[in-house]
Amino acid sequence: MRGTLGSQRAWLVLGVLSGVSWTAAKISVPLLAAGAIDNGILPGNSQAILVYSLVIVAVGVVQGLSSGFRRYCAFRIAYRSETDLRQRLFAHLQRLHFAFHDEAQTGQLMARANTDIFQINQAVILIPLTIASSLTLVGVVTVMALQSVPLTLLSLGALPLLNIAATRFSKRMQPVTTQLQEKLGDLTAVVEESVAGVRAVKGFGSERLQERQLDHEADAVRDRSLESARLRSGFLPLVDFLPALALVAILWYGGHLVLNGELQLGYIVAFNSYVLMLIWPLRMAGMLVAQASRASAAAGRLDAILVTDPQVVDKPGARELPPGPGEIRFENVAFGYHGGRPIFTDLDLLIRGGEAVAVVGTTGAGKTTVARLVPRFYDVDGGRVLLDGTDVRDVKIHDLRRNIGIVFEDTFLFSDTVRDNIAFADPQAPMETVRGAARLAGADEFIDDMPDGYETIVGEYGYTLSGGQRQRLAIARAVLADPRVLILDDATSSVDPTKEHEIRAALREVMSGRTTLIIAHRPATIALADRVVLLDGGRMVAEGTHDELLESTERYREVLAQAAAVEAASTVERVP
């Protein structure tokens, strides 16, 4: 926070200066008006009246200009720090390791970057406003006290009550507001359910039941709202009443001072203006306290993220990946997620350069974990993972990952053009390379059929693709950079079995000439591999070709049958 504010020192200085001149102008106007009455109007000095009027206009110009400046500076600083902070947070989140993202919920992180930063922004906006308010307060009290201390006390004495009332009001209002929000939430839930579950509602003819529920919630909302109106009716009129008391005091006590010749008549007018001037600063004081506490809570939550250091980072002296055929070797690897139950205690595995190996096992056997340790999404707890003879932890992460292409089960596509999605690893790639990758992945035909071809926007807000099409784009994305190692992490499992053969053909194509690690449970996909490795209980229990293992290993047959049973039980016409 301090750093982001520091870079804007110039705006800060300008903001404070214009704030000071604004306050000075604002305070002098009532004084000048009083002067005009006492020195011009009452003695009937028309030249003095003219001079005073012109000076007031001139001060008005100053007040107007500095009002614009201080506003601009204050908000500029606030928005700049908000933007910078959000940028920092995003960059940090992008660098944080997989394990962090496994535990953090996207919604939570979104709230950090959105609402929490907004809360901080609101507090920053209040800082210069508060400075100006305090200056006004000090200035006004000084000017008034110079005229008459008792009158100042009498007229301003009641105003702090406004502040106390405001604090009390917001304290009592808060639980009611929370309850009201909760009740509104309950009401929304009834509506959402009734609409989303309209088939169930209509199917059973239970509209009456839902209507009764809604009425119940609507009653609760009304009751809470009335309660909040009751609280408001206790506070809001005070905002007019307390200053009015001050004005009465000025008229009465000030009037008597004038009658006694201790005060000039013009000050009655000036003091009236001053009281009105102080209403806002006093009300804001309460807001500032509340906002400051919200902002500090928000800052605490943000800080918790920003101080989390990325765990998977380049070692000092990390080097480029030396050239090689893409040989992967696990040596005595031990690993568990977040320090929890170990997945592997002592795993040895060798995948020779250019070889295609399928890793098979039941859920939780660690198939996917194998795939995630190679590109260093996680670091091993013991032993080491070697790529072409180099410990992956000794290689620059950027270089390591650029040499590995991954197709995830969840084919996340960005809301961007087909072209940019395929060229994700290398946005500068020439169109020929992009087309080549698409062709290799068997995606070129359907891309050409899309409304804008390679320029079609896909992703959440774009053109809707079938599961198989998404998968082929993900494959094209993985092979675009011509990686040494290709990892297919359950890449075909979300594809309709009847369409799977199309993807398989594409896969066979892209696998040739690369080391390929296949995580799969469908025999047809497993058959793409030269060799199969069976994982069970955190270690490799068997290896061989698919046919050999089918023949020799009972556990292998069990694992496959289990997977097939789950799938056969599911639909015949699964919607992709």
Partner 1 sequence: MRGGGGGPFGQHAIEEKLTRHDATQVLRRLVPYLRPYRVRIVFSILLLIGQTACLLAGPALVRHGIDAGLRKNDAGALNLSALIYLFAAIAGLFFGRAVIRMVAKVGEAFLRDLRSRVFRHLMSLGMDFFEREKTGKLVARMTSDMDALQELVQMGLVMFVQNGLLFVGAILVIFLMSWKLALCTLVVVPPVVIASRWFRKASNKAYLLVRDRIGQNLSTLQEGLAGVRVVQAFARERAFTRRFQETNEAQYDANIETVRISAKYFPIVEFAGVAGIALIVGIGGAFVSADIVTVGTVAAFVLYLNNLFEPIQQLSQLYNTLQQAGAALQKLFELLDTPPSIAERPGAVDLPDEGGLELEHVSFGYGAEDVLHDISLRVPLGERLALVGPTGAGKSTLAKLIARFYDPREGNVEYADVDLRDATLRSLRERIVVVPQEGFLFAGSVRDNIIVGKPDATDEQIRDAIAALGLVDRFDAFPDGLDTEVRERGSRLSAGEKQLVSLVRAALADPALLVLDEATSSLDPGTERTVERALGRLTEGRTVVVVAHRLSTAARADRIAVVDDGHVPELGTHDELIAHEGRYASLYAAWDSRAAMGRAS
Q: Which residues in the 396-435 window bind partner 1 by CB under 8 A?
A: 397-398, 401-402, 404, 406, 408, 412, 414-416, 424-425, 427
Residue from 7, 13, 46, 175 that binds partner 1 (CB under 8 A)? Answer: 46
Residue 569 Cβ vs partner 1, minimum distance, rounded to whole Å: 5
Rounded distance between C-alpha atoms, residue 555 and residue 312, angstroms: 36
**Residues 509, 440 contacting (CB under 8 angstroms):** yes
Nearer CB in complex with partner 1: 21/345: 21
DSSP 373: H
Residue 352 sits in the site that holds partner 1 (CB under 8 A): no
Query: Which region, judged by CB under 8 A, interacts with partner 1, from 96-104, 134-142, 148-156, 464-472?
Result: 96-104
Nearer CB in complex with partner 1: 350/550: 550
CB-count burial class (<10 Å; 0-12, 13-18, 19+) for 1: middle
Q: How many residues does the chain have?
A: 576
Which residues between 64 and 83 bind partner 1 (CB under 8 A)? Answer: 64-65, 67-69, 71-72, 75-76, 79-80, 82-83
Residue 211 sits in the site that holds partner 1 (CB under 8 A): yes
Nearer CB in complex with partner 1: 348/547: 547
In Å, how far from its chain's centre is CA 545?
Answer: 48
Residue from 10, 203, 317, 341 that binds partner 1 (CB under 8 A)? Answer: 203
Which residues between 264 and 303 bind partner 1 (CB under 8 A)? Answer: 265, 268-269, 272-273, 276
Residue 527 sits in the site that holds partner 1 (CB under 8 A): no
**Residues 79, 14 contacting (CB under 8 angstroms):** no
Q: Which helix (DSSP H) or strand (DSSP E) does residue 459 occupy?
A: none
Provide the 3-class DSSP secondary structure of residue 467.
helix
Q: 517 pairs with which residues across the strands?
A: 357, 487
At 405, list the tokens: 């292409």
At 520, list the tokens: 């799969």
Which residues between 444 and 483 bind partner 1 (CB under 8 A)? Answer: 457, 459-462, 477, 481
Residue 13 sits in the site that holds partner 1 (CB under 8 A): no
Residue 206 sits in the site that holds partner 1 (CB under 8 A): yes
Count other Cβ atoms within 10 Å, centred on residue 497. Answer: 16
Query: Which region, judged by CB under 8 A, interacts with partner 1, from 45-53, 145-153, 504-512, 535-543?
Result: 45-53
Query: Which region, judged by CB under 8 A, interacts with partner 1, from 89-97, 131-139, 347-355, 438-446?
Result: 89-97
Residue 325 sits in the site that holds partner 1 (CB under 8 A): no
Residue 304 sits in the site that holds partner 1 (CB under 8 A): no
Residue 430 Cβ vs partner 1, minimum distance, rounded to whole Å: 18
| DSSP-derived pairing of the beta strands 356-360 and 382-387 | unpaired
At 284, list the tokens: 């804001």
Site string for partner 1, 242-271 (x = CB under 8 A): --xx-xx--xx--xx-xx-----x--xx--
Compute CA distances 237 → 162, 240, 241, 265, 388, whole Å: 11, 5, 6, 30, 78
Residues contacting 273, CB < 8 A, separation 6+: 29, 30, 33
Residue 332 Cβ vs partner 1, minimum distance, rounded to whole Å: 26
Residue 564 sits in the site that holds partner 1 (CB under 8 A): yes
DSSP 409: S
Nearest to 541 by CA among 529, 561, 531, 555: 555
Q: How many residues bind partner 1 (CB under 8 A)?
A: 151
Residue 178 Cβ vs partner 1, minimum distance, rounded to whole Å: 16
Nearer CB in complex with partner 1: 228/345: 228
**Residues 148, 257 contacting (CB under 8 angstroms):** yes
Nearer CB in complex with partner 1: 70/435: 70
Residue 61 sits in the site that holds partner 1 (CB under 8 A): yes
Query: Which region, judged by CB under 8 A, interacts with partner 1, from 292-300, 383-391, 438-446, 558-566?
Result: 558-566
At 486, list the tokens: 């290709």
Residue 54 sits in the site that holds partner 1 (CB under 8 A): yes
Nearer CB in complex with partner 1: 182/348: 182
Residue 179 Cβ vs partner 1, minimum distance, rounded to whole Å: 15
Which residues between 107 and 166 bind partner 1 (CB under 8 A)? Answer: 109-110, 113-114
Residue 497 sits in the site that holds partner 1 (CB under 8 A): yes
Count other Cβ atoms within 10 Å, centred on residue 8. Answer: 18
DSSP 430: -
Q: Which helix (DSSP H) or strand (DSSP E) does residue 406 occupy?
A: strand 404-407
Helical ranges in 250-316 per DSSP H:
255-259, 266-306
Residue from 174, 178, 182, 207 that binds partner 1 (CB under 8 A)? Answer: 207
Nearer CB in complex with partner 1: 148/194: 194
Site string for partner 1, 360-389 (x = CB under 8 A): ---------------x-x------------
- Secondary structure of the chain: what % helix, strand, coil (to 5)? 65, 10, 25
Residue from 13, 138, 164, 196 that binds partner 1 (CB under 8 A)? Answer: 196
| DSSP-derived pairing of the beta strands 382-387 and 485-489 | unpaired
Residue 11 sits in the site that holds partner 1 (CB under 8 A): no
In the numeric block, the tokens 């943000």 are attached to 302
End-to-end CA distance of the chain: 47
Rounded distance between C-alpha atoms, residue 346 and residue 352, angstroms: 20
Residue 90 Cβ vs partner 1, minimum distance, rounded to whole Å: 5
In Å, how far from its chain's centre is CA 538?
Answer: 37
Residue 214 Cβ vs partner 1, minimum distance, rounded to whole Å: 5
Residue 60 Cβ vs partner 1, minimum distance, rounded to whole Å: 3
Q: Which helix (DSSP H) or strand (DSSP E) does residue 94 occupy?
A: helix 46-95
Which residues between 223 and 242 bind partner 1 (CB under 8 A)? Answer: 225-226, 228-230, 232-234, 236-238, 240-241
Residue 502 sits in the site that holds partner 1 (CB under 8 A): no
